[in-house]
Amino acid sequence: MVKKTQAAKNALHVSKNYAYLKPSTLRSMAKEISGTRLEACKSYAVSRLPKIAVTATLASLLACGAGLPTHQAWANGFNLPDGSYRYANRDSSAKVQKYVDINAVPCDKNKETDKDKADRATFGQYYKVEYQFNSHGEWWGGRPFWWASVPKDVTIVDDSITLYKDEELTGGSASQKTGTQYTKAAWDQSVSRFWFDNNKAQGAEFKSNWERMTGEAGGYDKSGDTLDTSREYKNATSALIINWESRGNRRSKISFVIKLNNKTEPLKFAAGVYQVLGNWHYTVGKVALAPTLPEYSKELELTYPKDKVEVDSSKYGKNLTQDEKNNVLTKLWEANKNNVDVLKKLNGMPEAPTKEAFKKAVKVNNDGSATVTYKDNSTDTIFKENLTKRYIPFADKVKINYPTNLTPVKNTSQLSNEEKQAVKNAILAANTGKHIKDLTVDASGNATITFTDKIGTPSTKKLEGKYLVKKQRSLADKFTPYYPVPMAVGNPQGLTVNEQTELVKKVYEANKNKSDFIDAIGKPNNLEEAKKSITVDNKGNVTITYKDNTADFPSTDKLDGNKLVYQAKKLNETTYITLPARTAVDNAKSLKEEDQKKVRQAILGANSGLK
């Protein structure tokens, strides 16, 4: 505060035993102060206050009675749960904030208080500190000492302290606001501004003036149990700043920015007003614990896509293609494009988020994970499992049906092109909508299905031929031709052409009413056409050739000639000869030619029809 002569000190000190100053005391003070030199404690620079000003001040106090209550006011204090406290020795401590208010706001190195805009690494390491005094414009009849503290383990940024004053002009019709910046040294070069450091050089003066400002020096009202709290704040203070104002209703504010040396320790801010006349003490103590903003990567998170990008199983977690990486980015953007609050925190993201900026802030790694970089340069990794999944090829997830019926083929080891196509058609018919891109059938009836996979190499599935084809049953196996009634021939071992033709006719006639058989041999309509499918060799063996007959797939029936033809009996075995009457001849043992003719004629005559 200020150093004075002993008489002045005695006059300025009011103990707890006095509720107010007597007029005689004030007159003595006026006389004493008017002859006293006031010295700045720190610099010991002597500055003489105009006697007329001091005398006038005291005279006005006497005239208006300011600071002279007629009865004891209610004095109290109280401690708050967070370590803050209030104290008033002549009034209710609840009214302290009416005269003194502390506003300590965390900020970053650029003095930005908005945590969304602040540098997160330094936010909370700095504080904007404002001590507001007499904000309600109360009238103070004496010269009040408005004081504020600087917490320990902090540095005032740029050694800059600002003092704002707001006072009504003459007549009360307007007000004048002023704001002046001071360094620590400049602040102390005045008879109305004082600075006391709590260090080895000034420790005693700091202690003395702290106790004068707070009332700890004597007469402290302990009813609110705040004395120890006040002392704790004293120990947590590195400097005491005092602004000694003239009487009136001036509003003022002391502000500066501090940098914390240790963010883990709580800050204790104290401020108050001390008026000598009336021994008024109002004190406010406030505790602040510096916040630490978490890195964006620990506070924010992008929304994961619901639909993960499918990656070729052989490349999963190893080496994604650029197309796959782009697909991951696109899905991430789609999942977050409306998540503006998070997007705006990404590195390089403009106020209006864009997909282009998003792709620069989010990098998809080779393994399918993504690295997200935020504006505070913190990074977050989204694991590949949240963005990608193994692609399951159609071959593994599509059930292929085997045709209900096997395709009959002539030779199960050597399918013809037509038979291969028949197998293919049967498979396709049994598997519509099964993502089949291609289908091949080999000579043994084995089928290979190629699917329409878009990721990786198209998958394939093989079907075994034994479940697709079967040995075709020839028409010859289906039919058993009827044998006709056996036919007599002159020589079963050497049928004549006519006999062979007759036999074809007989076989055809025996089977022509069997329509399916006739269809199987080519639908002959007559004997000539029947000869193409029914052939007879010279021994009467019949071969019926069906229309499915080929060189590699014979389809014929054999009818045994022994069951078709037989030896016709000779005329001498089937003709009864009637003997004619005997013919007379000259010599029965040696017939003449004429006799022979007679005998012949007689036999023919007795057996008509003989030739």
CATH number at residue 242: 2.60.40.740
**Does any domain span residue 105?**
yes
Which of 260, 288, 316 is the endpoint of a domain?
A: 288
Evaluate whether residue 3 is within a structural domain. no
**Residue 305's pLDDT is what?**
96
For residue range 247-258, what is the model confidence (pLDDT) as tens digits? 889 999 999 999
152, 201: one domain: yes
Same domain for 420 and 515, yes or no, is: no
Q: Is beta strand 487-489 parallel, antiparallel or unpaired with respect to 565-567?
A: parallel
Cβ 342 vs Cβ 332: under 8 Å: no
Distance, in Å, from the CA atom of 324 to the CA atom of 455, rounded to the nearest integer, reads 10
Q: Are residues 468 and 521 in the same domain?
A: no
Q: What are the CA-CA distances from residue 444 to residues 18, 290, 359, 470 (Å)?
A: 123, 82, 54, 10
Please check whether residue 372 lies inside any domain of the structure. yes
Angle at 117 (CA atoms; ends 290, 266), nearest 5 degrees:
5
If asked whether residues 448 and 317 sit together in one domain, one would say: no
CATH at residue 538: 3.10.20.890
pLDDT of residue 172: 54
Please state, in angstroms and rounded to a whole number, the distance separating the CA atoms of residues 542 and 582: 51
> In this predicted structure, what is the pLDDT of residue 69?
36
Are 244 and 209 within one domain?
Answer: yes
Specify the pLDDT at position 49: 35
Query: Is residue 25 domain-resident?
Result: no
Summary count for the chain: helices (H), strands (E): 19, 30
What one-character-per-residue DSSP string does 346-403 give?
BTT--SS--HHHHHHHEEE-TTS-EEEEBTTS-EEEE-GGGTEEE---HHHHPPPPPP
Of 78, 72, 80, nearest in space to 95 by CA: 78
In a domain, 133, yes or no: yes
Res 551: pLDDT: 87
Average pLDDT per block of 10 residues along the chain, 611 residues long = 36 33 44 38 33 39 36 65 92 78 96 90 95 91 93 97 81 67 93 95 96 94 93 98 92 97 95 92 95 90 95 89 95 97 95 96 97 94 96 94 94 94 97 96 97 93 96 91 94 94 95 94 92 94 94 92 91 80 88 90 83 64
Same domain, 322 and 465: no
3-class SS string, 99-141: HEEEEEEEECCCCCCCCCCCCCCCCCCEEEEEEEECCCCCCEC
Range of the domain at 403: 394-472
Same domain, yes or no, for 459 and 481? no
Judge if 168 and 203 occupy the same domain.
yes
Rg of the Cα atoms in the chain: 64
Strands 237-244 and 193-197: antiparallel
47 domain-assigned: no
- pLDDT score of 589: 87
Same domain, 398 and 384: no
Q: Are residues 136 and 210 in the same domain?
A: yes
Longest dimension (CA), the chain: 223
| pLDDT value at residue 177 | 72
Q: Is residue 66 part of a domain?
A: no
- From 305, 179, 304, 195, select the one nearest 244 (Cα to Cα): 195
Q: Is the domain of 246 the same as that of 106? A: yes
Domain count, the chain: 5
In 377-484, which ranges are E strands?
379-382, 388-390, 407-409, 436-441, 447-451, 460-463, 469-471
Structural domain includes residue 13: no
Output the pLDDT for position 611.
Answer: 64
Final residue of a structural domain among 288, 312, 334:
288
SS3 (DSSP) at 252: strand
Residues 255 and 309 in one domain: no
Task: Identify the pLDDT of residue 168.
Answer: 64
At 27-74, the pLDDT tens digits run 444 444 433 333 333 333 323 333 333 443 443 443 333 333 333 334
Last-in-domain residue among 362, 390, 418 = 390
Tokens of 419: 């038979």
